[in-house]
Structure 1
Amino acid sequence: MVYFSTFFVSLFITLVLIPILTKLALRKHIVDEPGPRKVHTLPMPKLGGLAIATGTLFPIIIWTDFVAEIKGLVSGLVIIVVLGLLDDFYELRYREKFIGQFVATFVAIFLSRIYVTQLGSLGELNLILPLWIALPLTVVFIVGATNAINLADGLDGLAAGISLLSFGCIAYLAYISGEMPIFISSLAIIGAILGFLRFNTYPATIFMGDTGSQFLGFSAGWLSLALTQKETNPLSHVLPVIILGFPILDTLAVMLERFSQGRPIFIADKNHFHHKLLRIGFSHKEAVIIIYFLQCLLITFALIFRYYPEGFLFGGYLLFCLIVLCFFYIAERTHWVLRRSVNMDKDLASATLSSSTKDKINKGVFKIISFIIPILLLFLSLIPRQIPKDMGIISLLLLTIILVVYTTKREVWPRFFIRLNLYIAGIFLIYLANKEKIIWFQINMYYLQIIIFSLLMVLIAIYVKFSEPEYFQMTPLDYLIIFMIFIILLISHLPRKQIAMDNLSIFLAETMVFFWGVELILSHKFGKWNALSVSTLIVLFITGIRGLF
């Protein structure tokens, strides 16, 4: 239960803090102003990183054993958060940022004694570095990783999504290696990122700012090094480079381009890969999804070949870099611009069905979905043989919060807390339902559950087919989760697998379908008391009572 408590607490804290910090940032004018090198056109609050940091550090401090690498991580992150907030408030110069990053890295190294001492086998060489080389190399990598994620934060959800993939990889590798402190720390960060992406996926309502991007970059660099530099761990020593592969490539490419043109390498411009994708003609959302896909390729490569020689892995990464660089080089030299065709699928649907018919289909499908979701919630709350006591306490606490919120006259808060509780309860109940194979009346509830979710997915697809975009749209986060499901399915069928992941892929798929259904219902206006809100209260009550008794 420590694992799920860590994840849920970080998710909950982040989801609750972001609306509060959004209002605070707007009131105090802590915003990212539009500019020539920026994509957004309106001032955007940029305190999301503080929510990520709080949501991450709180469960880590409570539940993680303070071994050397965690002492270094937490100490370094505290400095990074202070540095990031100063930058978000006062816009520090790059020299001042570097000083702060170097201080954070040196403190982390001093407390943990973790260095890049092993590079593994590159060809016939088995490289073990002396301390006078290992120390500066460690500093360069950590500071480089910190800035790589920082520079990748150029489109809505981009840096957070890339980081989510990286930490998912680190969490899996830590779990199979028995490195539980690193695994729990990664889970805390994953929960915080998912909470943040709820508000940062295109179109974003808040940015993570330098606090968030530096926090994620430092964490990813540090945890990946701490995991792979242990002598007892057989993981390849170049995995950190591949886990952070796309941000590292993007950073090096843009700096080399600036240097070759005689421009300062630390002065921001619009020559990052995501800017180039926009110039080619891809939309904001499409550019983010493409980069997610490329990072997914690297993560899949890292997971499949995690025990292979360093020379093989590094060669594969160089080949990936070469292909990406060649694509952008050819696109720029030929001035290639994407030509868009008319969406024939939508046109055909419009031609074959009248607007009144489509409206009737949508209304009917919406009513069915609005009926299935509450029933599904009740069904899931009854399936598990036993509800953990922690979940029972959390459920009753959430129930109390909702009832208090419902006494207010503000319409926005009830909807927000219903969504928040549906996310938390849905994730946990779907997990428990997949974990246990319950038989009722000689029927395996696991298969019945899959049938219900499959039906729900078909209904959502029909609704999306004929609905207007304002009611439901696929977001980059949806595609990111789909990519992650495919990675898990692939890894789960590899030889020598060390963790059963079939249930995990089904869990993620069902969770995504459930969230789609919830968002579809919440996209329509309704009062405080309706089938969804009432079923949420009942489910929280049932879960709470079952957990305690």
Structure 2
Amino acid sequence: MYQQSEFSEIAILALAFFTSLFFTLLLTPIAERVSARLGFVDQPCTRKVHDQCMSRLGGAAMAIAFFSGVVVFAGWGRELWAVLAGASIIFCAGLADDGKDLSPKLKFFFQIVAVVCFMLVGGVYLTDLGDIIGSGPIILGWAGPLLTVFAMTGVINSFNLSDGLDGLAAGMAAIACLFFIPFAYAQGNWAYMAILVCLMGVILGFLRFNTHPAKLFMGDSGSLLLGFVMAAAAVFLTQAGPAEKGYQPVTALIIVSLPVADTLFVMVRRIMKGQSPVNPDRTHIHHRLMAIGFSHQLTVSGIYCFMLGMGILAWTVRPLPEWVQFYTVLFVYFCLYAAIYFAERRTVSQNKQVGFNLRLDPTNQFLRKVLFWTAEKSWLFFIFIWASLLGCALLAPEMPAPFKYYILFVVLFGLVYYPWKGGIKQMGIAHAVIFFGLYSFILAINVASAGDDWMRGILLLVSGAAMLWTLGRVLNTRRVRVLWPGSLEVLLLGVALAVPVLVHYSAFMGFDFRWQMFISFLQTVPIFMLNKVRLRRNPARIAQFAGLTGLALVMLLF
């Protein structure tokens, strides 16, 4: 199941991830403190959603952590030199814009310079777009470098313009990283594996401070850097990789299609109205969703879900002809924007946030008593669920040695990332870390007890009971909103769901392991929801539960 060389590579990538994560967690608070002295402050205005001055020096912390990680772990090849050359220029331009507000033309000039440096140093540009329109492969020839400049600057600006809500651009880039990493792994491209893993660590570290309500912004220096790395990965992994791997440009396009489609739609709409395409307004998809009635948190979570869905679609439709993939994506976006248009026309919930108003009001006296008892004695049910899980952990056979390192990774991540001193505003981060730990705990039990049907039956029984109790409790108390996941929860939930689709491209993970990951995800969600309903928004109780989850994971190491 495990090959030593591959396991060593994974261990090094884990180290790269943690190095970038730690640096970002360390540097971001420093950037927040010094931003006011240096003049890197974002002022509120009519087209922005924040109502107070915010630091926008987070991109500097991200850049330092990213450059430090890739220099150590990516290897000194042309891939790294190309990314460093372009990323350094794009970061400096963004930093100058954060401090002095550069003109759009000057920003665009620096973006072109960064892309040209990337092409010259890396020796790669778009040469073939594939058969995306159904008339045969589109070979670019002499127009390749020009179209590369156009395409990469388009992706760079799309991520820059999507940075309109807390955690939005960072989360979208993290999702793109998640789906690009298998490209690099299957091609044996160590440099881009390290680059993308380091960027993933940087983004998660930054989201610790940028998830709603954000403590600071990344600014243009951060959003332009994210867009550049995404554009560079899309070009290099589809044009410079082995042709037999079959990674078409349309696959990369689908992965980053949401910010690109949003930017194209907004700019075309401005031009049709006789306005400048770079004139700022509130017509981006996140602005329109909030105008319909979605809350800040729900808007970001919904966009994360759609981006994850497009990433999964990109990998599942790969066997189809390229033109079928391309037109499928066009149809998906036609449906998306049509739905938003009709929602705006009907002015759904214009003056209130989207929500649910469900309540279970049984007429049967026995059912009333059952619901009342579960409400009054919910702590007994909570203890029963966790006693069953800990019992499974104690009875499960010893885990494979490499998986113990994964558990150690999860414990270390939780200790560093959990907001131990945070209040109620950081409950979304707390719940996200708890889900990751709980999912890893149940996955470890499933891996260790593979082949034991009775153990799987107990986990399914516990998960089913948790789902029934949660639904009854929530509908009876009308606390449906407590089940709404925060944006960081959605991100980690999506990662847990998407990874089984992607690990097919990892040689040491077979079908059985992917199936165990998927089953573990289904088992985790109801138990996680039960814990959210039981603990609600009590920081002290949630911290105690996070400690319990950590101890349960540590038990599996022995």
Shorter-chain TM-score: which interval?
Answer: 0.7 to 0.9
Q: What's the CA shift string for 1:215-252, capped at 9, x where partnerless?
A: 22111111121111135231222223222111111111
Which residue does the alignment assign to 1:82? 92
Matched, 1:503 2:520: no
Matches within 5 A, 1:227-306: 227-230=237-240, 231-232=242-243, 233-306=245-318
Give the Cα separation in 2 of the matches to 1:443 and 1:300: 30
1:106 aligns with 2:136: no
Question: CA distance change for structure 1 residues 379 and 237 in 2, over 3 Å: closer, same or farther?
Answer: same
Instruction: Note closer, same or farther for the CA distance 1:289–1:429 as it changes in structure 2 (3 Å cut).
Output: closer
1:238 match: secondary structure:
helix
Question: 1-side partners of 2:58 and 2:46: how far apart?
Answer: 23
Tell me which of 127, 149, 153 is aligned to 2:138: 127
Aligned partners of 2:453, 2:462: CA distance in 1, in Å? 14
Q: Which residue of 1 aligns with 2:79?
A: 69
- For residue 258 of structure 2, what is the amino acid of its counterpart? F
Contact 2:355 2:481 in 1 (8 A): no
**Partner residue in 2 for 1:345:** 358
For residues 303 and 538 of structure 1, what CA distance do their matches in structure 2 show?
A: 35
Q: Quick one: distance in 1 between partners of 2:111 and 2:73? A: 26
In structure 2, how many angstroms separate the alpha carbons of the residues matched to 1:10 and 1:457? 37
- How far has the Cα of 1:313 moved from its partner? 2.5
Map of 2:487 onto structure 1: 476
Residue 378 (structure 2) aligns with: 365
Choose the corresponding residue for 1:116, options 126, 143, 152.
126
- Cα distance in 1, alignment partners of residues 341 and 430 from structure 2: 48
1:208 and 2:222 are equivalent in the alignment? no
Question: Is 1:49 matched with 2:59?
Answer: yes
Map 1:154-169 to 2 at 5 A.
154-169=164-179
AA aligned opposite 2:516 = N
Residue identity (%): 27
Counterparts in 2 of 1:39 and 1:535: CA distance versus 1, 3 Å: closer
Instruction: Give the 5 Å matches for 1:161-240.
Output: 161-230=171-240, 231-232=242-243, 233-240=245-252
Distance 2:487 2:415 in 1: 34
Matches of 2:482 and 2:239 in 1, distance apart? Answer: 48
Amino acid at match of 1:120: G
CA separation of 1:325 and 1:345: change in aligned 2, threshold 3 A: closer
In structure 2, the CA distance between the partners of 1:129 and 1:443, relative to structure 1 (3 Å rule), is closer
Q: Kindly tell me: are residues 128 and 385 of structure 1, through their superposed partners in 2, closer, same or farther at Cα, counting changes over 3 Å?
A: closer
Cα displacement (A) at 1:145 = 0.7
1:300-347, Cα deviation, whole Å (9 max, x unpaired): 331122244332222223333433444455556xx3211479843148
**Equivalent residue in structure 2 for 1:524, among 534, 538, 543:** 538
In structure 1, stretches of 5+ residues that fail to align are none
CA–CA distance in structure 1, aligned partners of residues 229 and 307 of structure 2: 18
Match of 1:100, as an amino acid?
A: F
Distance 1:543 1:486, change over 3 A: closer
Q: Mapping of 1:319-398 within 5 angstroms?
A: 319-329=331-341, 335-339=345-349, 343-346=356-359, 348=361, 364-365=377-378, 369=382, 384-386=399-401
How much does 1:68 deviate?
Answer: 2.6
Q: Distance in 1 between matches of 2:115 and 2:251?
A: 20
Alignment-derived partner of residue 316 in structure 1? 328
TM-score (norm 1): 0.76
Q: Is contact 1:120–1:309 with CA below 8 Å preserved after alignment?
A: no
Partners of 2:82 and 2:140 in 1: how far apart?
21
Once the 2 structures are TM-superposed, how far is the Cα of residue 170 of structure 1 from its aligned partner? Answer: 1.2
Q: Distance in 1 between matches of 2:553 and 2:454?
A: 22
Structure 1 CA distance, aligned partners of 2:549 and 2:355? 42
2:41 to 31, 43, 67: 31
Contact kept, 8 Å, 2:359 with 2:478, in 1: the verdict is: no
Return closer, same or farther for 1:322/1:10 CA change in 2, 3 Å cut-off: same
Count of residues in Structure 1 that have an aligned counterpart in Structure 2? 528
Quickly say closer, same or farther: Cα 1:116–1:424, change in 2 above 3 A: same
* Residues 432 and 532 of structure 1, relative CA distance in 2, 3 Å threshold: closer
Change (3 A) 1:149 1:29: same
Mapped contact 1:32–1:43 kept (Cα < 8 A): yes
C-alpha displacement of 1:157:
2.8
Per the alignment, in what secondary structure is the counterpart of residue 216 of structure 2? coil
Shift of 1:539: 6.4
Matches of 1:419 and 1:188, distance apart in 2: 24
**Aligned AA (2:168):** L
Query: 1:91 maps to what in 2?
Result: 101
- Relative to 1, partners in 2 of residues 1:181 and 1:469: Cα closer, same or farther, differing over 3 Å? same
The letter for the 2-side match of 1:524 is: N
Q: How much has 1:34 moved relative to structure 2?
A: 1.6
Relative to structure 1, the CA distance from residue 418 to residue 284 in structure 2 (aligned partners, 3 Å threshold; closer, same or farther) is: closer
What whole-Å deviation, never above 9, does each CA across 1:326-383 have from its counterpart, x for those lacking one? 4455556xx321147984314859xx99xxx999856743576589679968986995
Seen in structure 2, the aligned counterparts of structure 1 residues 390 and 529 have a Cα distance that, compared at 3 Å, is: closer
* Cα distance, 1:499–1:394 mapped onto 2, change above 3 Å: closer
Does the 8 A contact of 2:500 with 2:515 survive in 1?
yes
Unaligned regions of 5+ residues in structure 2, if any? Answer: 1-9
Change (3 A) 1:246 1:389: closer
Change (3 A) 1:41 1:315: same
- CA displacement 1:479-513 (0-9 Å, x = unmatched): 4444555556677999xxx9643234345566767
Q: CA–CA distance in 1 between the matches of 2:68 and 2:528?
A: 26
Secondary structure in 1 matching 2:318: coil
- Cα distance change of structure 1 residues 374 and 526 upon mapping to structure 2, 3 Å threshold: farther
Whole-Å Cα distance in 2 between the matches of residues 420 and 486 of structure 1? 14
Q: How far did 1:463 drift?
A: 6.5
Residue 411 of structure 1 contacts residue 528 of structure 1 at CA under 8 Å; is this kept in 2?
A: no
Query: Residues 157-176 of structure 1, C-alpha deviation per residue, up to 9 Å, x if partnerless?
Result: 32233223322221233334
Q: Distance between the aligned counterparts of 2:140 and 2:262, measured in 1?
A: 27
Match in the other structure for 1:144: 154
3-state SS, counterpart of residue 230 of structure 2:
helix
SS at match of 2:283: coil
The whole-number CA distance in structure 1 between the counterparts of 2:316 and 2:291 is 34
> Are residue 5 (structure 1) and residue 15 (structure 2) matched?
yes
Q: Quick one: distance in 2 between partners of 1:364 and 1:444?
A: 28
CA distance in 1, matches of 2:380, 2:556: 26
